[in-house]
Amino acid sequence: MLQSYVKIAWRNLVRNRAFSAINIVGLALGLATCLLIMLFVLDELSYDRYNDKADRMVRVVFHAVMNGGEINEANVMPPVAQTLKADYPEVEDATRIHTVGSPGITVGDKSFRDDQLAYVDSNFLQVFTLPLIQGDAKTALIQPNTAVITQEMARKYFGNENPLGKFVTIKSWNALFKVTGVMNKMPVNSHFHFDMFMSMAGVSDAKSPTWMTSGFFTYLVLNKGYNPKQLEAKLPQMVSKYMGPQIQKVFGLNMTQFRQKGNDIAFLLQPLTDIHLHSNLTGEMDANGDVQYVYIFGAIAVFMLLIACINFMNLSTAGASKRAKEVGIRKVLGSVRQSLANQFLIESLLLTMIALVLAIGIVYLALPLFNDLAGKTLTLNFGESVWLLPSLLLLGVLVSILAGSYPAFFLSSFKPIVVLKGTKFTGDKKSIGLRSGLVVVQFSISIILMIGTTVVYRQLSYIQNKRLGYSKEQVLVLPDTWQLAKKEEVFRNQIMQDPRVVRVSMSGYLPAGPSYNNNYMMYSESNPDQFVKGLRYDVDYEYIPTLGMEMAAGRNFAKEYGTDSSGVILNETAVRTFGWHGNAVGKSIGHTENDGLKRTYRVIGVVKDFHFRSLHESISPLVMILGRNNGTMIVKAKTKDVSGLLASLENQWKQLATDAPFTYSFLDKRFNDTYLAEQKTGRILGLFAGLTIFVACLGLFGLATFTAEQRTKEIGVRKVLGASVASIVGLLSKDFLKLVLIAILLAVPVAWYVMDKWLQSFAYKIDMAWWVFALAGVLAVGIALLTVSFQSVKAALMNPVQSLRSE
């Protein structure tokens, strides 16, 4: 029975090959899109699940409310881990990471810089279940100055030699580390990636009792089945017990008084598996994903499959007249409705399986492009992922049922006495209305995606062209100049002699890309109870002019003023937060150091607000203090010969530091890298929007072809009676254009709502102009008109003698 069903199904697919081809291509593109997005979403959801303790691990994060804003940090104070483990029995284990970046490593006479290093506690490898290829994970990091490196790092440093027992040097720290273990590369789906883990033992900051400075990423393993919210509810007691006395010492207020001033401090517990998609805290080790994009791409996959299924249903029901006589004869010969429905479902399944095979081929070809767009390393490997093929087959069966069920029951419901009379079958009003509704759904989805893509690109353009308050063009950033030691100032002076250089500043505080996060609590000397939380930048005399910042009041730091060591420059937001609506110059602010020592600074200038964080965040209060922050040089160039300037800088560098690698970056690239996630989303959204429109047009093309065939005799009569080609094209097109206009009316409010929600994540955003919606509508009408007109013009140009004879 099944074999005969398949034979008949194959014969019918071949007989109606034009419609079959349209359906196969549409379904293949829909399934390919769904498969790509499935791989993307599963990769996003897999972050940190390589850890066999992942489901009961949390990260401790810091939240505080102060005058001037909130603090939300991914790292906490040094004693938090040990305190939680000692005081709360529900904490099975605790471990920490203390990041140090890429300080530069020397092995023998070779220097390396492009590796990420971090200090970790001795139990870190066991908590995160990172097995070693060489060495013992339980003991590798117990002793001070020991390190575990990745296998890739071992090959780079030591070649084919056994790395265990060998040493690497970090010159800037004057420290020697013994290699005690080798591990595989960190899993790609981890929220942090390091090449070398160094023992925290012997690090003085790690043993600090202070609760007033942070910098330690802290993870807890909770007892099985324990609810993290229960522990989180107990943490205010820890704040009062341990932070309270230190707040009293620093600010002169007990916790009750501190909170009465509108301040609050809390520790929160963040599930490990939520970090990648649900966390965007200050100081994250890697750029995280965004669950919004998972939802968006998941919706696109559903939409694409839905549009492909709609095409199948539309073309199947529209072509009912070609199958009506077949159904009538088979019913007369004894076929029951269920048997006929099964036949049509088998045809749907066969067509879907062909489309699925084609979709897998498309994905194999498209994966490199998609990985490039999404910044992923996705693979389609049926051997490694045993669930993948069964999932695809199940998806194919579900799609075939979704796409084929209505046509199957619709076609099998024909009454033989009606269809065998010879009366031309055109379908009832119900089926025509359904087809029209499905076309509206298709184009509504397409228009929503067109509007969404346009809004995303406009927002990205706005970000890239917004006045930032500083100049990012032709600014070179030279990191790790500390490697020059006493020759650092010599290098700076040499750079300044180059006529292609305008200015040089020495400061690691950069307004774009990763930078230091130096939270700073300050208060007005005239109102000591008013605390303002901001950021502190240590800058030199050249910082503000090098970056093209403008002064709103007062002056910049200047060498001729010996008192500037006790002076500060505030940004406009800090001035407003203090409530100084007039001139802030001359006023004083205070700051209490961790040791309880109070310092007073006089405001000598106000710099105009500039964006030193992502445009997702509002500008926060900022204080600039004159200080020597060696380690990074900011070079403002004035030449088109940037490559020549870089060659010259590298040559001078090598003369001063023969064993230290010369590296650089551009400030504008650092800025653009901040919005890589949005850029990737825009590109992917544009790609899928184009595919969605194409698949929708495939269905529209098929319906236009069918309509033209159904009205062949009518067209011939009209031409004989003198109708023009244009009038006939208009006649055939207007019904479809009406449906597209309805789709526009439905899509515009939905698109506005969705994109308005997306824009809320930006503190600085575009207004959604009316012309964006109008443009999408015009494009939809134009695309639909072009699609339909091809068949309409073809039908209108047909010789009326042939069209009338064909009937």
Tell me: the pLDDT tens digits for 133-167?
999 999 999 999 999 999 999 999 998 899 999 99
DSSP 91: E
**Which tokens go with 111?**
């220097």
Q: Could you tell me if 621 and 534 are in contact, meaning their C-beta atoms sit under 8 angstroms apart?
A: yes
Q: How confident is the model at residue 424 (pLDDT cuts 50, 70, 90)?
A: very low
Tell me: the pLDDT tens digits for 58-71?
999 998 877 656 77
Mean pLDDT of the chain: 81
CB atoms within 10 A of CB 702: 24
Q: How far apart are CA 601 and CA 567, in angstroms?
A: 5
Rg (CA), the chain: 34
CB atoms within 10 A of CB 18: 12
Residue with tokens 């130096």: 518
Q: How far apart are CA 395 and CA 11, in angstroms?
A: 25
Q: How far apart are CA 406 and CA 130, in angstroms?
A: 52
Q: What residues does 539 pair with on adjacent strands?
A: 626
Over 70: is that where the pLDDT of 630 sits? no
Q: Could you tell me if 263 and 66 are in contact, meaning their C-beta atoms sit under 8 angstroms apart?
A: yes
Q: Could you tell me if 31 and 356 are in contact, meaning their C-beta atoms sit under 8 angstroms apart?
A: yes
Q: Is 782 exposed, middle or buried (0-12, 13-18, 19+ CB in 10 A)?
A: exposed
**SS3 label, residue 68:** coil
Task: Return the pLDDT at 93.
Answer: 95
Q: How confident is the model at residue 327 (pLDDT cuts 50, 70, 90)?
A: low
**Is the pLDDT higher at 260 or at 633?**
633
Q: Classify strands 598-607 and 588-592 as parallel, antiparallel or unpaired.
A: antiparallel
Q: How far apart are CA 95 and CA 123, in angstroms?
A: 7
pTM of the model: 0.78
CA distances from 451 to 454, 748, 787 (A): 5, 8, 20
Least confident residue range of 148-157, 172-181, 186-195, 526-535: 526-535
Mean pLDDT for 660-681 is 77
Over 90: is that where the pLDDT of 454 sits? no
Q: How far apart are CA 269 and CA 57, in angstroms?
A: 9
Over 50: is that where the pLDDT of 458 sits? yes
Q: How confident is the model at residue 87 (pLDDT cuts 50, 70, 90)?
A: very high
Tell me: the pLDDT tens digits for 521-549?
777 777 766 677 778 888 889 999 998 89
